[in-house]
Chains A and B, each alone.
Chain A
Amino acid sequence: MKYIFLVAWREYAENAKTKGFWLGIFLVPIMILGSIQVPIWLAKKGTPVRYYALVDQSETLAPVIEARLERSHQKQVLADINGYVQKHTIPAGKSAALTPPSLDQFISQGGVVSYLKAVQARLKLGAPPFKAPRRDFQPVPLPAGMRADTDLATIVERLRPYLRGDQKLEVGGQWVSLSAAILIPRDIEKQIVRPPDKSADSTAGVTAIQYWSGNLADTKLRDEVEQSVNTEIRRREYLLRGMDAAAIRAVEQTYAPFASLNPKKEAGQEAVNSADIIRQWAPSAFVYLLWVAIFAVVQMLLTNIIEEKSNRIIEVLLSSVTPGELMMGKLFGIAAVGLTMVGSWMLALFGILSWKAGGASDVTSQVLTALQSSNLILMFSVYFLLGYLLYAALILALGSVCNTLKEAQSYMGVITMMMMVPLLTMSFIPKDPNGVLARVLSWIPIYTPFIMMNRAMADPPLFDLIGTLVLLIVATVGALWMAAKVFRIGILRTGQPPKLVEMLRWLKR
């Protein structure tokens, strides 16, 4: 036992010094943090303020577009201010809980200023002042010397260098580039397409409203403009045809409440919410982590054995420890490395989620709740350990019969191929977690950890859960027993790797 510990300790200490280990430790938390932070950061900083020029020769649509863009902006402001309030106010008793206003209420009640006043009393001491987000799209007047009432074609020609970025516009003393130009012709009314009127086809290709922009990827402004214009045009159409616009609007907002229910949940709580969807998909992330962890650790094991074998250190070791002790030492040492890695990932995951978690509706906090309320972590630990041991057995046997890393890599390829299956099925399994594919794969021990992890939140039948676990344990013990047999003979062999038949013969010894 002492020798096993000594070998294990060296394995642990030496591997903990490698760059790969630390890369592994930090990469996953960085990825987790990144996947939460980057979209937020991108949304805030990534898209600079876009300047657009609006030429409305019909002189009726510009205010509608402006109102729409302002409303979108206020929506963002409201979302931000709600987050701010949630973070920096003292949660009062349930009775006095703040109910965030609807967008219409927010705008009509005076926006940021009055809302902040309303919550002022509740703000924690030392809370930073609220910083309203910038409006993404800012209108700019046409460059000096251009008249909005000239021919549209001329305007386009004059604007072209600005839109290409060759020339800049001056806005409030700053030189900015023009991101888009929206040109609405005077006779827009005539160009409106009405469904029964097939003559519209003849005008196909002729554009009524022109949206000029070099940026094709970001269609947000285009969409906003298009929707606002069409909403306005439809509103006018209702009036034209003598319909009650208000009534129509009311009709448009009628709906039948619809709910997804889960029969497996307790009565009264059957409602499927977004947390449930997170629960269904969270295991996929764990499958991926499991795969990465096992693969990384098993690679480490292979490199170590090959190093000892190709350097012939093995002989000195075997004059001090038995092959069994050496093997167990390696197995445990590397397992400890793996557990350290996985453990730090879990800590980081919880740490980052708790740090980033905002209100109850926040995705981050829902993920956190899903993790805390389930046995995902427990399953992950068990499956990591068993999966590692099973694959380690294969690797130990493989490593012991190969002389160089190159030789081992070619065999490792086969193992890698086998390991790819759970990655490929990872996204199918949650859609049908108790289907035939999932069930069949669950019963193949080398896939059990991944597939069962994948099915974890879908309440797999107890028979599957226990049965596959027992089979996995039996297979792991068997594999380790065989690995030990191969290891004690293979480790001293030099020259050609033995044939499979030969290795099978070793098992009988």
Chain B
Amino acid sequence: MTMNNQHLANDAPLEVQGVTKLFGDFRAVDDVSFSLPAGAIYGFLGPNGAGKTTTIRMILEIIKPTSGSISVLGHSSALAVRQRIGYLPEEKGLYKKMKCWAVIAYFATLKGLSRKAAKQRAFELLERYGLKDFATKPTEALSKGMGQKVQMLASIAHDPEFVILDEPFSGLDPVNQQVMEEIIRDMAKRNRTVLFSTHVMQHAERLCDRILLLAKGRKIFDGTVAEAKRIIPRRVRIETEDDITPLRELKEVVSIRPVDTISGGITAPTVAHWELEVRENTDPQAILQSCFARGIRLHSFNQSDPTLHEVFMRLVGPDAKEAAFR
């Protein structure tokens, strides 16, 4: 990176206070508050129609909140600090006839780079992320995924302190999703703050320091990924041919339910799969010991954290469905 990092402010990159947005009678965003620490990768999760994009647009001052206040990089107006913010919108598009480097350079000049610096930076980025051959091609010659990468590069070409990415992974193949993750991590490493929205939980799980969960315009969860996972009780999976009734009496075990597995696997059909929901702060080893103590022979013992996906489904599952059918 050629730009200096000296001017990085110590202000919280983003402070959202009781923000509400009404479209007519519809509450797109309802009294949402959160703040971002500098240098964090922040996941903005929620089902379709949760109000993610609306919130992002309000943060960027593209639309104004009905009530509440937003402060970006210590300013009440995002436009005042627009040169320090990068934004990749949800719906991606580029000027079709413009050359790739020219698009990146144009957006960079709008963010305050000189035309010469912008051009140099555009070529630099295109080369680093494997699009060198397309630098002088019009963007209409690109595939959708490549176009998206170009747009991503355009949104970070001015090396912003704070980047907002709306669904950066959608429409990318696994390889390019990897590249996108790399770009995001690169930025975090250099103490840039990244806020990205997604509904693919794996990305959030891999990348995020913190997540914010929205559903129907309301904040449902705001915290670290570990904290999120604690919402769902821990689970232990076991495989055994024996009767597992004795385990039901354990005080650590909340419930036991059978799990369907695909038959014809490596285990014999007589082997049953069970999922034990255990109390918080339970050491899974204690369950394992109890099994031995009660003579239950295990084919496998698996202690697993709930995935973010499960957390998500637990928290917004019913809402998400409702929203989908509305």
A320 engages B111 (CB within 8 Å): yes
Would you give the 0/1 interface string for A299-324, flagging 1 where the beta carbon is closer than 8 Å to chain B? 00000000110111101111111100
Q: Pick from A14, A311, A320: contact of B93, CB below 8 A.
A: A311
Known A-B contacts A320-B111, A321-B110; A313 and B93 likewise in contact (beta carbons under 8 Å) = yes
B55 to chain A, nearest CB (A): 14
Query: Any chain A CB within 8 A of the CB of B151?
Result: yes
Which residues from A are CB-within-8-Å of B57? 315, 492
Known A-B contacts A316-B154, A320-B111, A492-B62; A311 and B89 likewise in contact (beta carbons under 8 Å) = no
Q: Pick from B60, B92, B94: contact of A319, CB below 8 A.
A: B60
Query: Any chain A CB within 8 A of the CB of B20?
Result: no
Which residues from B are CB-within-8-Å of A318? 60, 62
Which residues from B are CB-within-8-Å of A311? 93-96
Which residues from A are CB-within-8-Å of B88? 316
Query: Any chain A CB within 8 A of the CB of B229?
Result: no
A14 engages B92 (CB within 8 Å): no
A10→B115 CA distance, assembly (Å):
11
Query: Any chain A CB within 8 A of the CB of B44?
Result: no
A312→B62 CA distance, assembly (Å):
13
Instruction: Identify the stretch in B27-35, B79-87, B186-194, B261-269 within 8 Å (CB) of chain A at 4 or more residues.
Output: B79-87
Query: Any chain B CB within 8 A of the CB of A17?
Result: yes
Return the chain A residue nearest B91 by Cβ: A312
Query: Any chain A CB within 8 A of the CB of B198?
Result: no
- List 30 A-B pairs, Cβ < 8 Å: A6-B110, A7-B110, A14-B95, A14-B97, A14-B98, A17-B97, A18-B97, A307-B95, A307-B96, A310-B93, A311-B93, A311-B95, A312-B89, A315-B87, A315-B89, A315-B91, A316-B88, A316-B151, A316-B154, A318-B60, A318-B62, A319-B62, A319-B78, A319-B82, A319-B85, A319-B87, A319-B89, A320-B82, A321-B110, A492-B57
A313 engages B94 (CB within 8 Å): yes
Query: Any chain A CB within 8 A of the CB of B106?
Result: yes
A321→B82 CA distance, assembly (Å):
8
Return the chain A residue nearest B109 by Cβ: A6
Would you give the 0/1 interface string for B253-283, flagging 1 where the beta carbon is closer than 8 Å to chain A? 0000000000000000000000000000000
- Chain B contact residue count (CB 8 A cutoff): 27
A317→B85 CA distance, assembly (Å):
12
Which residues from B are CB-within-8-Å of A310? 93
B22 to chain A, nearest CB (A): 14
Query: Any chain A CB within 8 A of the CB of B155?
Result: yes
Which B residues form the contact surface with A (CB < 8 A)? Answer: 57, 60, 62-63, 78-79, 82, 85, 87-89, 91-98, 106-107, 109-111, 151, 154-155
A317→B87 CA distance, assembly (Å):
9
Return the chain A residue nearest B164 by Cβ: A319
The residues in A between 312 and 367 inclusive whose CB is less than 8 angstroms from any CB of B are 312-313, 315-322
A321→B112 CA distance, assembly (Å):
11
Would you give the 0/1 interface string for A1-21, flagging 1 where the beta carbon is closer than 8 Å to chain B? 001001100100010011000
A307→B87 CA distance, assembly (Å):
19
- Which 7 pairs from chain A and chain B are nearest by CB? A311-B93, A312-B91, A315-B89, A319-B87, A320-B110, A312-B93, A319-B60
Which residues from B are CB-within-8-Å of A320? 82, 107, 110-111
Which residues from B are CB-within-8-Å of A319? 60, 62, 78, 82, 85, 87, 89
A312→B91 CA distance, assembly (Å):
6
